């Protein structure tokens, strides 16, 4: 029986494959679209049973070739570009594809754990898994929102586990292929290593320079949540995956720079600003009205489901991440 991981060569998907390997699981069917091909590097140190292109996989699912051959689907595959303007592509890729996999899993009694996003909350101030708090600002968020509504409908009379995980701002290893959509932690690391400086946005949404706040979560913690639900197929629902605490972009920048300065005394935000290590650039016009200036996951539903592991804060998680980055060629 296969464990299927879609988006397997992507950021969270490849970390999930590696974590399954560390548990002794190698009968993994990796599903992705290697265009661009550079994502393959994320799977070099992973062991899988087979690889299929995402369209070939769906065709074979529809034709019944995997009936009785799958023990669970961990659906991480999606277009995650929050500024993608092709709504038709976004809805086909993120919504319709996911809907077909959900139907297969319900027909075959297969647990289905899928990636949702905090983008469904838009500019709201309450981040709780309830319809009244959901108002996405872009078509990416809408594609995730709409599939969550479908999942909620199917939850009422489900035949197998349906679990949606609303990721907040995830950072960590195996994200370099994401380019401009990689975490700010990676962008800050690259900027500091190249120039000795880090650029943050000037103030927006009532927040001063660099003080916009997000719930930043290490991919290590996001993977642990996935594995918890994989181990508990009796638990279904839609759950926020964040730390439950917001931190500023300034804090991320300070943590990144200090981790890069290994062996040297830590600098404070004020010191970094005074030495022009941290600088501020104009807020992009194209992001006005489409930017979340604040997020903070309400994780009470996750805790009620039984997940009690502590989460890394920015200072802990970024330091560990930078240490790994510094070891790479």
Query: Which residues are known catalytic residues?
Result: 140, 178
What's phi and psi for 70, nearest 5 deg?
-120, 130
The strand pair at 2-6 and 70-75 is best described as parallel
Least Cα distance to 172 among 18, 1, 5, 284 occurs for: 18
Residue 305 near residue 237 (C-beta atoms within 8 A): yes
- Kindly report whether the peptide bond that precedes residue 36 is cis, defined as omega within 30 degrees of 0: yes
In order of 46, 230, 274, the CA distances from 16 in angstroms are 10, 11, 41
C-alpha distance from residue 94 to each of 21, 130, 220 (Å) = 27, 21, 24
Instruction: Report DSSP state, residue 204.
Output: B
Residues forming a β-bridge with 280 = 200
Question: Is residue 200 within a helix (H) or strand (E), and if so which, with residue range?
Answer: strand 198-201
Dist CA 163 CA 233 (whole Å): 9
What sections of 112-183 are H helices per DSSP?
A: 139-155
Angstrom distance (rounded) from CA 122 to CA 118: 8
Task: Kindly state the DSSP code that residue 92 receives in the 8-state scheme.
Answer: I
């Amino acid at each position: 029986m296969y464990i299927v991981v879609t988006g397997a060569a992507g950021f969270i998907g490849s970390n999930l494959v590696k974590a399954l390997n560390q548990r002794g699981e190698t009968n993994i069917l990796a599903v992705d679209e290697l265009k661009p091909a550079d994502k393959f590097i994320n799977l070099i140190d992973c062991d899988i049973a087979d690889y299929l292109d995402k369209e070939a996989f769906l065709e074979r699912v529809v034709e019944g070739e995997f009936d009785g051959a799958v023990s669970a689907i961990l659906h991480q595959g999606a277009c995650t570009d929050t500024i993608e303007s092709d709504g038709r592509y976004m809805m086909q890729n993120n919504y319709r594809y996911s809907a077909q996999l959900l139907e297969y899993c319900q027909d075959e009694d297969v647990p289905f754990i899928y990636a949702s996003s905090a983008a469904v909350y838009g500019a709201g101030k309450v981040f709780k898994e309830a319809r009244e708090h959901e108002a996405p600002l872009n078509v990416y968020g809408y594609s995730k929102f709409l599939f969550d509504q479908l999942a909620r409908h199917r939850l009422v009379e489900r035949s197998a586990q349906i679990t949606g995980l609303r990721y907040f701002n995830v950072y960590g290893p195996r994200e370099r292929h994401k380019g401009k959509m990689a975490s700010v932690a990676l962008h800050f690391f690259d900027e500091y290593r190249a120039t000795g400086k880090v650029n943050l946005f000037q103030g927006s949404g009532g927040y001063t320079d660099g003080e916009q706040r997000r719930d930043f979560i290490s991919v290590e913690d996001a993977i642990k949540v996935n594995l918890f639900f994989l181990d508990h197929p009796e638990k279904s629902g839609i759950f926020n995956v964040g730390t439950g605490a917001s931190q500023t972009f300034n804090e991320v920048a300070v943590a990144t720079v200090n981790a890069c300065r290994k062996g040297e005394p830590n600098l404070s935000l004020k010191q970094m600003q005074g030495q022009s290590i941290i600088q501020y650039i104009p807020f992009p016009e194209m992001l006005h009205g489409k930017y979340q200036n604040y997020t903070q996951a309400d994780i009470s539903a996750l805790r009620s489901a039984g997940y009690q592991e502590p989460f890394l804060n920015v200072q802990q998680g970024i330091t560990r991440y930078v240490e790994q980055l510094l070891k790479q060629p």
